[in-house]
Structure 1
Amino acid sequence: MQRDVTSRIVLNITEPADLVFAIGVSEHYAPTAESFTATLDGTAVTHTELSDVHGTRLHRVESGTGELVVEYSAQIEGAGAAIETADIDLLTYTRPSRYAESDALAPTAAAEFAGIDDPAQLLASVSSWVGTHLSYVPGSSLPTDGATRTLLARQGVCRDYAHLCVALLRSLGVPARLVAVYAPGLDPMDFHAVAEAWIEGAWRVVDATTLAPRSTLVRIATGRDAADTAFLNVMSGRADLVEVQVTATVDALPNDDLDQLVSIG
């Protein structure tokens, strides 16, 4: 399987800014071709690359004022390496977090999924429940919305669906986390967010939006919730987002059997 991904982000920097981008594919892949560039009013800007504990690659750019254009591309052949998981990771991803308030949603999870003991069935049930209880409405949520507010609003976008899945699964004692991905087949194309749950000794994808085949997803960032996986963090200064363009293609777009357990490869 060959996957090609690109992203282009244009920012208007009105005060010198320290910016961190999470748009490169995870270090668990070995791209056959890859490029990251940043230009300010047409002049190249240097960047620093950092990695976190889960292999998320962060590109840090310190920019002066003007129009900053950041572009990334990669070509990937085959699957990425498996991500090592320690006991502390499973503990971390069973606790509540900023956007996945599993403690607040515990009564809802207990009422809706009582009696489901099979882990694979539980995963499918949570995904189906979230998918049928929410409406996908672009622009309907705020960047600060968490799972509880999403459930009350009954609508959201991919990150909201993922946060609600993560919170419900954690409420049921299942370690769950958020993953930012490139998603071949997604329409309209954009950065995408899905959940991962620790089922039968591996991380399994949960995408209640069903907007892209799970087997084609390309991991970018992994963390507790959107606070760990945003494609851009403005650490200081001021940067106004002007444009985001994302593409993700695969040589053959497969069907997605929702009854099967799938891991991001």
Structure 2
Amino acid sequence: MQRAVTAELDLDLASPVDLILQITAAQTVPLSAEQLTLTQGDRAYTATEIVDQSGSRLHRLTAEAGRLEVRYEATVSGRASQARTSDLETITYLRPSRYCQSDEVFAQARRQFRGLSGHELLAAVSEFVATSVTYTPGLSLGTDSAVTTLMTGQGVCRDYAHVVIALLRAMDVPARYVACFAPDLEPMDFHAVAEAHVDGSWWVLDATRLAPRGSLVRIATGRDAADCAFVSYHGGSLTLARMRVDAWATEDAPADDFTAPMQLA
């Protein structure tokens, strides 16, 4: 299946700023074409690419004050390869993190999912989050955590992913956060899902059930949303004046019932 993805960001920089972007397809994604441009009037910037241990590609630059236009487009051909996971990674993804406080939901998880393991556990956690959280764009905050979402029962894709991850870690299953492009997502935006490590492989879980998992394109992977922000900056200030994300596939993705095991393509 061939997929095309685009992202457009207009950033108003109030002063010179150290800018870090995570909007490109991950290193493991097979690309047949790709272009990232960073322009400010007549000036074009070249970013330094940094690849982390999970294959996420970060692009860093120091930009001057003014409007910076970020444009990205890529064509994805074929399926991504699964990199070998180290023992250190699985340990990292078992620990509580900023937005996935598995220690705080430990008692609930152990009580609710007692006796479940493997793919049966993954399906049960995904179903619980899908039915107990309401998708509510604009109402959750960027500082909301898994605990907040469980209390309010509302959120967006990042919040669904955080709850899934926290509950799975509380059940001793390594789980991580994935930012991605999602063809057929409605409303279209950057998307977030969870991955769980079972039987030596990573399996993707999307409790929002808003886009078929078979067409997702990985951007960044980390402990939670703090590791996968599409824009972060230091030493200055900026405003996101405009953002447009799009993703589409040349053919329909296979039907997804969201309960069967699936790996990120």
Which range, TM-score by smaller chain?
over 0.9
Distance in 2, matches of 1:141 and 1:189, equals 17
SS at match of 1:131: helix
Residue 34 of structure 2 corresponds to which residue in structure 1? 34
1:102 maps to 102
1:6 shift after superposition = 0.5
Give the fraction of aligned pairs with identical amino acids, expressed as a percent: 47
Task: Name the structure 2 match of 1:247.
Answer: 246
When the two structures are superposed, what TM-score results if normalisation uses the length of structure 1?
A: 0.97
CA contact (8 A) 2:30 2:78 kept: no
Q: Work out whether residues 184 and 253 of structure 1, in 8 Å CA contact, stay in contact via their aligned partners in 2.
A: no
Equivalence for 2:223: 224
- Distance in 2, matches of 1:249 and 1:240, equals 28
Gaps of 5+ in 1: none
SS of residue matched to 2:256: coil
Q: Secondary structure at the match of 1:11?
A: strand
CA distance in 2 between partners of 1:30 and 1:195 (Å)? 21
Residue 77 (structure 2) aligns with: 77
Report the 3-state secondary structure (helix = DSSP H, G, I; strand = E; otherwise coil) of the residue aligned with 2:236: strand
In structure 1, C-alpha distance between the alignment counterparts of 2:174 and 2:20, rounded to whole Å: 27
Secondary structure at 1:15 match in 2? coil
Q: Which residue of 1 aligns with 2:191?
A: 192
Runs of 4+ in 1 over 4 A off after TM superposition: none
* Paired residues of 1:223 and 1:229 also in contact (CA < 8 A): yes
Considering only aligned residues, what root-mean-square deviation do their CA atoms show, in Å? Answer: 1.0
CA distance in 2, matches of 1:23, 1:76: 14
Give the total of aligned pairs: 264
Look up the match of 1:50.
50
1:140 partnered with 2:148: no
How far did residue 42 of structure 1 move? 4.2
- Between the aligned partners of 1:45 and 1:259, the Cα distance in structure 2 is 44
Inter-partner Cα distance in structure 2 for 1:228 and 1:259: 27
Deviation at 1:234, TM superposition (A): 1.1
Q: CA deviation at 1:74?
A: 0.5
Deviation at 1:16, TM superposition (A): 0.9
User: Where does residue 212 of structure 1 map in the other structure?
Assistant: 211
Look up the equivalent residue of 1:179 and give its one-letter code. V
Structure 2 unmatched ranges of 5 or more: none
Q: Cα distance, 1:252 vs. partner?
A: 1.4
C-alpha deviation, 1:257, in angstroms: 2.8
Shift of 1:241: 0.7
Alignment partner of 1:38: what SS? strand
Deviates more, 1:44-53 or 1:68-77: 44-53
Q: CA deviation at 1:258?
A: 2.2
CA deviations over 1:217-265 (Å, ceiling 9, x no partner): 1000000001111101112211101111111111112211323210112
Q: Is the 8 A contact 1:30 1:76 kept in 2?
A: yes
Q: Which amino acid aligns with 2:5?
A: V
Asked whether the 8 Å contact 2:11–2:240 carries over to 1, the reply is yes
